Structure 1
Amino acid sequence: MIDKIFSSVEAAVADVKDGATVMIGGFGTAGLPNELIDALLAQGARDLVIVNNNAGNGDTGLAALLAAKRVRKIICSFPRQADSHHFDALYRSKQIELELVPQGNLAERIRAAGAGIGGFFTPTGYGTDLAKGRETREIDGRMYVFESPIHADLALIRAERGDRWGNLTYRMTARNFGPVMAMAARTTIATVHEIVELGGLDPEAVVTPGIFVQRVVKVDRVATTAGGFKQVA
């Protein structure tokens, strides 16, 4: 019987190795799998290469992983924001590497890995420092830059509902990078707020099929004092 449900986030990330490339879903804080990041922080893996849309917000989640100096390199589109002080300090002191990738290129490089594509040409970045050292080509009178796929050892994503086969649905903007990251990683771990029986998900609503997911963990929503949720997609 196929059953991909893990008892805890700690168990789900227990075998992450030092030096792993880890994709983390989320757009800012929307869809950020904080419970999995906290478990990875406690697990102790070091020298990680992180792929995310940004470089952490405030002092929690990805920012906490950076503050603990567990990350060797980050590949992202928006490294600096008003509350990205941990990344900023590490980068200025040359304690972290940065690969800056325009957001559309980032999403397509991840998608290319999942689709088995060896790379693609894009006009985005041509003529800038981002194109230095990359192959360029003129196509129909326009200059393009070659971008390679981004593969990962692990993807940490946050979904809304799932079943024991790993089929997933998402809530609104929490979907963001989750589906393409799930396809691009050797192992995908997803948190969900509800686990349903097989057949309980409308096939037309399944965004990430279970073939791309290896581990599923149920996590509770975190209520605030006002009765809402700390994580709202």
Structure 2
Amino acid sequence: MDKTFATAADAVADIPAGASLAVGGFGLSGVPIVTIRALLARGVGDLEVVSNNCGVDGWGLGELLAAGRIRRVIASYIGENKEFARQYLGGEVEVELTPQGTLAERLRAGGVGIPAFYTATGAGTAVSEGGMPLRYAVDGSVALASEPKELRPFDAFGRTREYVLERAISTDYGLVRAAVGDRHGNLRFEKSTRNFNPLAGMAGRVTIAEVDELVEPGVLGPDDIHLPGIYVDRLVVLTPEEAAELPIEKTTVRARPGASAEPATPGFSAAEAGRDEIEGAR
């Protein structure tokens, strides 16, 4: 029942080229960066990634993307990842954009054995009607477009409307980042890092979790467990240095209320005055 691995490299050693991965995180919050870098070091490519987004330029899944290791992405948005946008528009990577809530439910459904479900989200749009570009050609034309999805009317919630059939997602592996885990694989996520992590962990047939802190079984109470160990197969315990790498995607600062517009001390700026807000955002 002890699911700990000595290193992230050991935990990802059997992930082959062409594997599908469900990866937790939202922007830079809760990203399993150590596991991603171990996979990058292995040199495997042709990967299919399912995640809320594909990281940012130079960090998270953006590192795998920049190295040309990702073939296909299922995500809810491209965001401000310029390399992701460049590869998509240049025909280097296939992208299936999915409404965020639908993506979350598709992962959850895959984790609990529900093959498909109906949702009103996207009905009557390109999501259901098809034609969304999945892959572009080098000349900018659409090389591959999405197919129409099944629509069905339901009388629900006091009205009749059409719902679109969405299929569940399950992947070969799940990669997640948790604050605390026990040796049986039970995980607790910290605040907003909970995001897509439990869902990615549920959807992976083999799930690898990197954790900031390892505790013994029984330390985590039932109400403290956000993802049961039944979904987790491998644990990697991060070093303090690895756990502390928590970059901020967008840094915004403001002067403290009542502070002078001019620095009170030479070299002390308004940005520094708001440093405590930045630290709080971590």
Q: Give 1:184's aligned residue.
A: 203
Q: Distance in 1 between matches of 2:87 and 2:240?
A: 32
Is 1:159 aligned to 2:178, yes or no?
yes
Is 1:88 aligned to 2:85, yes or no?
yes
- From 141, 144, 161, the equivalent of 2:163 is 144
Cα deviation, 1:51-71, whole Å, max 9, x if unaligned, reads: 111122121221110011100
Structure label with greater radius of gyration: 2
Q: Give 2:96's aligned residue.
A: 99
Matches within 5 A, 1:20-169: 20-81=19-80, 84-131=81-128, 132=130, 133-140=148-155, 141-169=160-188
Q: Distance in 2 between matches of 1:154 and 1:121?
A: 26
Cα deviation, 1:147-202, whole Å, max 9, x if unaligned, reads: 00001000100001111111111111111111122111110000111111121112
Q: 2:34, 2:242 within 8 Å by CA — same for their partners in 1?
A: no
Please tell me the residue identity of whatever aligns with 1:108: E
Q: Distance in 1 between matches of 2:222 and 2:115?
A: 30
Q: 2:24, 2:201 within 8 Å by CA — same for their partners in 1?
A: no
Q: Distance in 2 between matches of 1:157 and 1:223?
A: 15
Please tell me the residue identity of whatever aligns with 2:237: K
Q: 2:24, 2:199 within 8 Å by CA — same for their partners in 1?
A: no
Q: Distance in 1 between matches of 2:46 and 2:14?
A: 15
Q: Distance in 2 between matches of 1:68 and 1:205?
A: 38
Please tell me the residue identity of whatever aligns with 2:86: A
Q: Distance in 1 between matches of 2:29 and 2:109?
A: 23
Please tell me the residue identity of whatever aligns with 2:91: K
Please tell me the residue identity of whatever aligns with 2:23: I
CA distance change for structure 1 residues 95 and 37 in 2, over 3 Å: closer, same or farther? same
Moved more, 96-105 or 53-62: 53-62
Structure 1 residue ranges, 4+ long, deviating more than 6 angstroms after superposition: none
Please tell me the residue identity of whatever aligns with 1:135: E
Q: Which runs of 5+ in 1 are unaligned?
A: none
Q: Secondary structure at the match of 2:58?
A: coil
Cα deviation, 1:101-126, whole Å, max 9, x if unaligned, reads: 00000000001111111211111111
Is 1:215 aligned to 2:230, yes or no?
no
Please tell me the residue identity of whatever aligns with 1:99: E
Q: Secondary structure at the match of 1:173?
A: helix
Q: Give 2:218's aligned residue.
A: 199
Q: Secondary structure at the match of 1:144?
A: strand
Q: Distance in 1 between matches of 2:47 and 2:7?
A: 22
Identity of aligned residues (%): 44
TM-score by length of 2: 0.77
Give the total of aligned pairs.
227
1:223 CA displacement: 8.1
Q: 2:74, 2:95 within 8 Å by CA — same for their partners in 1?
A: yes
Cα deviation, 1:26-80, whole Å, max 9, x if unaligned, reads: 0110000111111111111111100111122121221110011100100000113
Please tell me the residue identity of whatever aligns with 1:197: E
TM-score by length of 1: 0.93
Q: 1:222, 1:230 within 8 Å by CA — same for their partners in 2?
A: no
